[in-house]
Amino acid sequence: MKNLDYLIAGLSLVILIILTFLGVIMRYIFNSPILYLQEVQIFCAIWLVFWGGSAAVRSGSIVAIDFLVDKFPPRMRRIADICIQALSVAILGFLAYNGFQQLAFLARTDRHSYILEIPYWLIYLAFPIGCSLMAVWYVVGLYKTVRGIPQQKSEEE
């Protein structure tokens, strides 16, 4: 369970690549397109983005343009980090809350995809879960920043 976000994002990426490759082969070589391909690609892309976002936040791999913050003295840099992480938690919490509300609406309307008839609430479930997980990881980072605990950073830093 510890690496569930990595597993789901990775699996979504692998399925997306394989199906896209097979789709090109089937369409242009065998002249027989896979009808449900676009629905599965959208499903995989959504799950890849939001579960991958959780994995990126957890590992400290989120892209940041911090050339201005890097010029601050250490105390101001720490205050800026706390403000940025708190703002991120607030925004992601707002998005997760509204995402769950939208999910409830989709479940009530009982809408499905056209070909595979996958319920839309299942497809878009990744949005509020991904936002919630990202918010949790930002809270963990905020706690570490406030307590002065060194955080794991991406390999490029």
Query: Average pLDDT for consecutive 10-residue bins of the chain (157 residues)?
Result: 88 96 94 91 95 92 80 88 93 97 92 91 94 95 87 54
In a domain, 157, yes or no: no
Q: Which residues pair with 112 in a beta bridge?
A: 119
Amino acid at 143: Y
> How many independent structural domains does the chain possess?
1
Residue with tokens 């008839």: 117
Structure tokens at 2: 């510890």
In a domain, 152, yes or no: no
Within 10 angstroms of residue 53's Cβ, the number of other Cβ atoms is: 22
> Residue 156: what pLDDT?
44
| Neighbour-count burial of 46, counting CB atoms closer than 10 A to its CB (0-12 exposed, 13-18 middle, 19+ buried) | middle
Amino acid at 57: V
Q: Helix, strand, coil shares of the chain as percentages rounded to 5?
A: 70, 0, 25
Structure tokens at 107: 């479940």
In a domain, 153, yes or no: no
CA distance 4 to 141: 19
In a domain, 59, yes or no: yes
3-state secondary structure of 32: coil
In a domain, 156, yes or no: no
> Residue 92: what pLDDT?
97
In a domain, 44, yes or no: yes
Range of the domain at 52: 4-147
3-state secondary structure of 66: coil
In a domain, 22, yes or no: yes
> Residue 152: what pLDDT?
65
In a domain, 142, yes or no: yes
CA distance 6 to 3: 5
